[in-house]
Amino acid sequence: MFDSLLFDLMLVILIGMLSQWIAWKYRMPAIVVMSIAGLLVGPIFDLINPKESMGDLFSPIITFAVAIILFEGSLNLDVREIKGFSKPVGRIVTFGAFIAWIAGSLAAHFLAGLSWEVAFIIGGLFIVTGPTVILPLLRQAKLKPRPAAILKWEGIVVDPFGALLAVFAFEFIKFINSEVTLKSLLLFFAASAFAVFLGWIAALLIGNSFERGAIPEFLKAPILFVIVLFIFVLSDEIMHETGLLAVTAMGMKMANMRLTTLNDVRHFKENISVLLISGIFVMLTASLDPEILLEITNPSIILYVLAMLFIVRPLSVWISTIGTELNVREKLLIGWIAPRGIVALTVSGYFATILLENGYEDAELLTALTFALVLSTVVLHGFSIGFIAKKLNLTTTDESGVSIIGGSRFSAALAQSIKETGNEVLLIDESWAALSEARKLGLNSYVGDILSEQIEYHIDLTPYRYMLSMTKSDIYNAHVCADFVPDLGRDHLFQTAFHVGKDIETFTISGGQTLFQPSISIYSLEERMHAGHVIRKTLITKQYSYTQYLRERDDKSILLYILREDGSIEFFTPKRELQAVAGDAIIALTSPAKTIERVKERLDVENGGSGLPYEKIEELFTEDTNGNRPTIPGDAPQSKK
């Protein structure tokens, strides 16, 4: 319709982002939606062909995009994150990756009919299991911590190295074929070492500049972006194909420098990475030749995909994890789940161009072959992981874990009460200071932005069924709930009431439910905490019914949640009428006056009715200089029953 490069670029970006939104909205793998969209506008309806319209620009755009994507991925490779389960992860990403490379290469040669050169290159590339695909699947399946952690970190650690292994395979094959001399091969390894050094130096310089404040805030992200591209191009000009190694080394070094300012550029790198992944993926699928696309139905390619699914992956996992603490059920699941992601397809397109330029004609099949493997693994693993995990009893049994967004005195007190019920609880806030009360109480906490895409690289949200957004930004709370609706469902998402003094329905973005009964803002909750209000537990019995409790409770008390007899919890909301039965407990925020009255009655009984002066009782609720309040006499600790 419109024959212009500008229109094609606009359409590619638009389709990519629309695909991402549809995938988020309907809880589908983004790569599947983008695949279908790219095929529809490209080889099926022939609306655009980015490779033809962009001409000489097509390959550099793909190359730059891969460099940025790999740098962004390598920024997550903090070695501290895998210390707890380093043995199985270390085996899988080293010995297991080597087995997968060799076995995958043999399958590509003997089953798919690729030449040895192309087979070993694509075999190296297919050791990756993309984190952009695996993380949503893990969240969906709610796996137990160990298999979830291993799958998660395998994807993160291996992802940047698949392309590098393919590069080394390419150079080694050329040496074996006498296309390059031993001197040239040694020169390549020397250049590779220099690329690592170049990336390392660049990370040191830019990281220290960030820490010293030598670069203003508004320039940090753009300068980092430009430096990454500069290092990539410089290394690649010195020796072709070493640029990817340089930017990966740069990202890994920055990830382990403990930079306090690294979070300042997080949103930029996430946004640019999502934009590039979406655009590049649509470009590659839309540029597929219809004849090559038909090759996906070729029996040899289908046989290759089946071999990768049912032989190569299980074999590499089972052999590499011999002698580790993994049991048979965990090996079965990990050996099945290995979805290839967007990075595999984008990098394969990059190598297809290089190999074709070097005279390897069968490299034309690389994109189609990769597409077949990526689509089949994403679909099969995406729809089967939950079912198989349940059959193998590898899903978490924790049904009432709670993540609380927003650090405050009240949120820490609420988290402490939930922890005492035996349920998992985690507090998350962007501010270290806001979580100080949580740290005093020994609660699990994490400093970060819950809306960041990278949050799941660092913490496992699987055990937390409920999410309470209680920051002091009402709009942020609403956005948190709206963002997690596809993952948790609206019934499990809550936010504190807006504090603007108007009808909340006027302001609520489609997302979670308003917390507590009656609804109250986090500001009012904090004021009550500072006024001496406390969180109390009241057991409902046959003699003391829920109706009696409601009749006798203080008018100022706030109903927080019900602790069921089986240990599960349900939160009160203004629009939801909960009923408690004998064996349940009501957790509420009560005023100090009501609490003092109840303690006076208890002390009267304990002292034979002799009573205690009111001033003495009031001392029980007087905070010390550290803000601590003594335990109320007679209070029973919260428990599951």
* Cβ(248)–Cβ(164) below 8 Å: yes
Q: Are residues 426 and 480 in the same domain?
A: yes
**What's residue 622's pLDDT?**
42
Residue-wise burial string across 288-311, b where 16 or more C-beta atoms lie within 10 A, e elsewhere: beeebbebbebeebeebbebbbee
pLDDT of residue 72: 75
3-state helix, strand, coil in the chain (%, to 5): 65, 10, 30
Tokens of 459: 């913490």
Q: Is residue 639 part of a domain?
A: no
Angle at 216 between CA 213 and CA 219, to 5 degrees: 130
Q: Is residue 286 part of a domain?
A: yes
Going by C-beta distance under 8 Å and a sequence separation of 6 or more, which residues neighbour residue 460? 145, 148, 149, 152
- Residues 14, 113 share a domain: yes
Token couple for 47: 């609306």
How many independent structural domains does the chain possess? Answer: 2
Three-class DSSP category at 493 = strand
340 with 373: CB under 8 angstroms? yes
284 CB burial (10 A radius; 0-12, 13-18, 19+) = buried
The pLDDT, as a whole number, for residue 617 is 47
Compute, in degrees rounded to 10, the torsion defined by CA atoms 260, 276, 477, 404: -60
Residue with tokens 């043999």, as numbered in its chain: 106
Closest CA to 558 of 585, 602, 581, 524: 524
The reported pLDDT for the residue numbered 307 is 94
96 in any annotated domain: yes
Distance CA 495, CA 519 (A): 10
Same domain, 100 and 78: yes
Give dist(CA 305, CA 372) in Å, integer.
7
For residues 426 and 379, membership in a common domain is answered with no
User: Could you tell me the two tokens for 516?
Assistant: 């507590």
DSSP label of 499: S
Question: What is the domain-level CATH number for residue 71?
Answer: 1.20.1530.20
In a domain, 115, yes or no: yes
624 falls within a domain: no
Of 370, 391, 412, at which residue does a domain stop? 391
Query: Rounded CA gap, 425 and 412, in Å?
Result: 10
What is the Cα–Cα distance from 14 to 8, expressed in whole angstroms? 10
| H helices present in 239-337, as ranges | 243-255, 266-286, 290-294, 299-307, 313-320, 328-336
Q: Which residue has the tokens 């060799």?
A: 102
Task: Indicate the residue among 336, 367, 391 that finishes a domain.
Answer: 391
Phi, psi of 541 (to 5 degrees): -130, 180
CATH number at residue 443: 3.40.50.720
Alpha-carbon distance of 49 to 35, in angstroms, equals: 15
| Residues forming beta bridges with residue 569, ordered by sequence position | 563
Residues 408 and 379 in one domain: no
**Shared-domain flag, residues 496 and 365:** no
Give the Cα separation of 354 and 241 in Å (integer). Answer: 9
Alpha-carbon separation of residue 149 from 82, 141, 330 (angstroms): 9, 13, 12
Same structural domain for residues 476 and 386?
no
Residue 306: inside a domain? yes
Residue 514: inside a domain, yes or no?
yes
Which two three-digit tokens encode residue 2? 């419109």
Taking the whole predicted model, whether its pTM rises above 0.85 is answered as no
If asked whether residues 358 and 417 sit together in one domain, one would say no
Give the chain's length. Answer: 641
- 259, 252 contact by CB (below 8 A): no
| Rounded Cα gap, residues 316 and 312, in angstroms | 6
Which residue has 């050996």 as its token pair?
335
- Give the whole-angstrom CA distance, residue 414 versus residue 535: 7
Domain co-membership, 304 together with 410: no
Pair 123, 260 in one domain: yes
Burial class (CB within 10 angstroms; exposed 0-12, middle 13-18, buried 19+) of 636:
exposed
Token couple for 184? 């040239």
DSSP 548-615: HHHHHS-TT-EEEEEE-TTS-EEE-BTTB-----BTBEEEEEE-HHHHHHHHHHHHHHHTTT----HH
Domain with 579 in it: 401-619
Is beta strand 513-514 parallel, antiparallel or unpaired with respect to 445-447?
A: unpaired
Please state whether the peptide bond connecting residue 43 to the residue before it is cis, i.e. omega within 30 degrees of 0: no
Residue that is written with structure tokens 């983008």 in the block: 34
- Under a CB-based contact definition with an 8 Å cutoff, are residues 167 and 142 in contact? no
Query: Among residues 380, 376, 369, 289, which one has the least CA distance to residue 109?
Result: 369
Q: Is 469 helix (H, G, I), strand (E, B) or coil?
A: strand
Residue of 468, 434, 424 lying closest to 450 (CA atoms): 468
Q: Are residues 331 and 385 in the same domain?
A: yes
pLDDT at 316: 93
CA distance 338 to 221: 33
| SS3 sequence of 194-250 | HHHHHHHHHHHHHHHHHHHCCCCHHHHHHHHHHHHHHHHHHHHHHCCCCHHHHHHHH
What is the per-residue pLDDT for 604?
Answer: 55
Of the residues 343, 361, 391, the one at which a domain ends: 391
Which residue in the block uniquely carries the two structure tokens 């809550």? 494
Are residue 387 and residue 423 in the same domain, yes or no? no
Residue 568 lies in a domain: yes
Average pLDDT by stretches of 10, the chain with 641 residues = 75 89 77 83 86 82 79 70 70 88 92 87 82 70 78 74 74 67 75 89 90 82 88 86 81 79 64 78 81 80 92 93 88 90 73 80 82 85 85 73 92 93 90 90 90 72 86 88 81 85 47 85 91 89 88 85 88 87 91 61 52 48 43 42 37
